[in-house]
Structure 1
Amino acid sequence: MNTPSVSTPTATRPGVGVGVLVVHQGLLLLGKRRGSHGAGHWAAPGGRLEFGEALEDCARRELLEETGLVARHLELGPYTNDVFEEGGQHTQHFLTVYVVARSLQGTPRNLEPEKCEGWAWFAWDALPTPLFQPLQNLLRIGWRPGGL
């Protein structure tokens, strides 16, 4: 029996990710990822869309699970097509749909320390590096949330 190598794609169809762009007082909330996928890169809160789940429900769930924040207002943002590569091979493919969260309840807390080193606020023009690929792709298309 052959064991798949690290560079073997894990799925034959793209997954759907939901990124939550948390905007507060002109700043964007980002966390430094831990774990195998994108470890060491700065990313917005978010995760995989569950079967039968609405985008806004996914955004609210992920935001609450990861940060303890409750978004009172959400608006649909852009999407990015994110093909991850390792060793020249496509390993994962996600369509990331962004939702912008404003009017928040709570203070960000790191509720999943095994997945995130911690949360911090950044100006859009002074984002940290390295950025997680979906955020890099968002910058590449030139989109910017209002208020940043």
Structure 2
Amino acid sequence: MSSPPPKPEVGVGVFLLKGNKVLLGRRRTSVGCGTFALPGGHLEFGESFEACAAREVKEETGLDITGIEYMTITNNVVSEPKPVQLIAVLMRAALADSDQAPINLEPEKCDGWDWYDWDDLPQPLFEPLKTAIGRGLNPFLSN
């Protein structure tokens, strides 16, 4: 008896902006290990995109955010280390208090958070982020 195909996973990523910089962390999880990604995570059943964005940013970085808004959605199939279809809802937000600094609250999942200049992003990028940028997304411009 064969196993059923994997189901798509829905996540929410957040372009957290400060000046001309965006917050990124290097992933330590099996999918996308070593790539730079936005803060974010899995959408819980019944949760709005905005609530997921605020919850995940708080859980991962300790930061409070405001002005959360939808940017785009990506659909990526990644084959390594196991096949997974990633549906990423990408949002944009600002710090609720500009004096806040990110804290790495999940060191088993991320090497740490830092602010990167939009015109000089670190490489390699996590596939959903790479896809959005490749399509011309710029979180510093209006939708």
Same fold (TM over 0.5): yes
Task: Give the gaps of 5 or more residues in structure 2.
Answer: none
Task: Give the gaps of 5 or more residues in structure 1.
Answer: none
- Which ranges of 4 or more aligned residues in structure 1 deviate by more than 6 Å? none
> Shift in Å at residue 64 of structure 1?
0.1
Which amino acid in 2 is paired with 1:96?
A: A
What do the CA deviations read for 1:101-146 (whole angstroms, capped 9, x no partner)?
Answer: 1143321000000000001111111000011111110111111012
Picking from 88, 93, 98, the partner of 1:96 is 88
What's the TM-score once normalised by structure 1's chain length?
0.86
Q: How does 1:5-44 map to 2 (within 5 A)?
A: 11=6, 13-44=7-38
Picking from 123, 129, 135, the partner of 1:141 is 135
Q: How many correspondences in the alignment?
A: 139
Aligned partners of 1:79, 1:145: CA distance in 2, in Å?
13
Give 3-state SS (helix, strand or coil) of 2:124's partner. Answer: coil
Alignment check: 8 A CA contact 2:16 2:95 kept = no
> Shift in Å at residue 27 of structure 1?
0.4
Q: Does 1:73 align with 2:71?
A: no
What's the TM-score once normalised by structure 2's chain length?
0.89
Match for residue 46 of structure 1?
40
> Shift in Å at residue 95 of structure 1?
1.2
Which amino acid in 1 is paired with 2:58?
A: L
Q: Percent of aligned positions with the same letter in both sequences? A: 46
CA RMSD between the two structures: 2.0
